[in-house]
Structure 1
Amino acid sequence: MLTMTPAASTVVKTLIAQNPEVEDGGLRIDAGGAEGVDFAVSITEVPEPTDSVVESDGAKVFLGESAVMVLDDKVLDASVDDAGAVQFAIAQQG
C-alpha cells in the first residue's frame, strides 16, 4: 500500500487546513491514461465509495481504484518551493 513521507503528511494536512470546507477531508489521487501514469489530484471532503484510504500522522489520502494498483508499492513525498507551490513526487518503496 502507498506510504507517505513525513513531508508529504505535513503538506497534505496543510492543504486540508487551508480548505475549511473539507476540514476532515483528504487528498484524492486517481490514475488516468492507458498506463495509469497520469494522476489527477484533488482535495475532497470524503472518499469515493470505492476509494482506499491511507492515513499517516493525521493526513488522509484517498486512492481511486486505478491509483491503488499503480501506487501499491510506492512512497508519496512532497515539497513546497519558495513561491508556495506544492510538488508531489512518487518513489519506489524500500
Structure 2
Amino acid sequence: VRSIDGTAEWFASKGFRNARLNALGASFGELAIGAGLIAGFLTTPAAAGLAAMMATAFGAIHRFAGFFVFARPDEGWEYVATITVGAVVIGL
C-alpha cells in the first residue's frame, strides 16, 4: 500500500467506490492535517479533519474487528478510537 495505486486497490478491496479518488483525497488530507497540527496552523479545523477521517476508518473498517488493533488481519478499533478522542480534545 505504499503508493496511490496500492492504496486505491486496498480501498477498492474494502468496498469504497471511486477508490483512486478516495486514495488521493485521503493521502492529501492526511498530509494537510498533519502539517496543520504540527505547525499549529488552523489547529481546530485540522483536528476536526482528523476526527472525521478516523471516524470514517472506524465506521468503514474497524468497528467489526474487535477491540485490539494488533489482532491482525482484522485490525481492531481501539487505535482509531484513541486518535479520534485525541483529535476531539485538541479541537476543543
TM-score after normalising by structure 1: 0.24
Larger relative contact order (Cα-Cα within 8 Å, sequence gap ≥ 6): 1
Higher helix share: 2
Q: Which has the larger radius of gyration?
A: 2
Higher strand share: 1
